[in-house]
Amino acid sequence: MKRLEGRIALISGTARGQGRAAALRFAAEGALVVGGDLLHEEAVETQRPIAREGGTALAPGPLDVTDEASVGSWVAEAVDAFGGIDIVYANAGAVRFGGIGSQPYEDFAFTMRAEPDSVWPTVRAAWPHLAHSRGCVLTVGSTAGLTGSLTNLRTARSAAKGGVIAPGRQLAAEGAPYGIHGSARSHA
């Protein structure tokens, strides 16, 4: 039996990068994947290798993870299709790179909104379903959110990823009474 056999996984940012890799991996482990991305056609492309391997994946429509209505529709479609949600992998976000000396405040503010705000609507909409299934929330932070970066000028990204890690830990604490597990995953 595969580790995620029959589990319903809601994964944001499946058009490319880590979200796409997560969708492929979760499906390989038997999860029923409901992906989403603003880049809808690319998210649909992610479904093809999953189907070729005998897995199941949906990408219902363009997804804006910072828009509650968009996220609400996405969650509703996942529940309509599969009856619930077991896993939320909150991956999608957007970033504008730059250091403190060169980055305009507009770019800093954009990144600070796009990264942490991408987690809240998704988890909030899925929360009752996660409580019912005693599910799991995974947020995608960065080691830069913990330590900063000596190699890249990315002040806003580091701050924003710290703003993803902390809520991930808090969600684990708030979810514990409901059996919801949480993890703030960090990458480079």
Q: What is the mean pLDDT of residues 161-183?
A: 89
pLDDT at 188 exceeding the cut of 60 = no
Whether 104 is in a domain gets the answer yes
Confidence of residue 185 (pLDDT cuts 50, 70, 90): low
The answer to whether residues 161 and 93 touch, using CB atoms and an 8 Å cutoff, is no
Is residue 3 one of the residues assigned to a domain? no
pLDDT tens by residue, 16-71: 999 999 999 999 999 999 999 999 999 999 999 999 999 999 998 899 999 999 99
1 in a structural domain: no
Q: Where are the beta strands (DSSP E) in the chain?
A: 8-12, 32-36, 56-58, 87-90, 136-142, 181-187
Residue 183 located in a structural domain:
yes
CATH code, domain carrying 172: 3.40.50.720
How high is the pLDDT of residue 33? 97
Which amino acid appears at position 10 of this protein? L
Tell me what the mean pLDDT of segment 140-146 comes to. 82
Asked if the structure places residue 181 within a domain, the reply is: yes
Q: Which residue shows structure tokens 């929330």?
A: 137
Tokens 């000028």 belong to 153
Higher per-residue confidence, 153 vs 8:
8
Provide the domain count of the chain. 1
pLDDT over threshold 80, residue 157: yes
pLDDT over 80 at 99, yes or no: yes
pTM equals 0.91
Contacts of 54 (CB under 8 A, 6+ apart): none
Domain that holds residue 145: 8-187
| Cα(84)–Cα(97) distance, integer angstroms | 37
153 has a pLDDT exceeding 90: no
Mean per-residue pLDDT, 109-131 = 93
Per-residue pLDDT at 102 exceeds 60: yes
Residue 78 forms part of a structural domain: yes
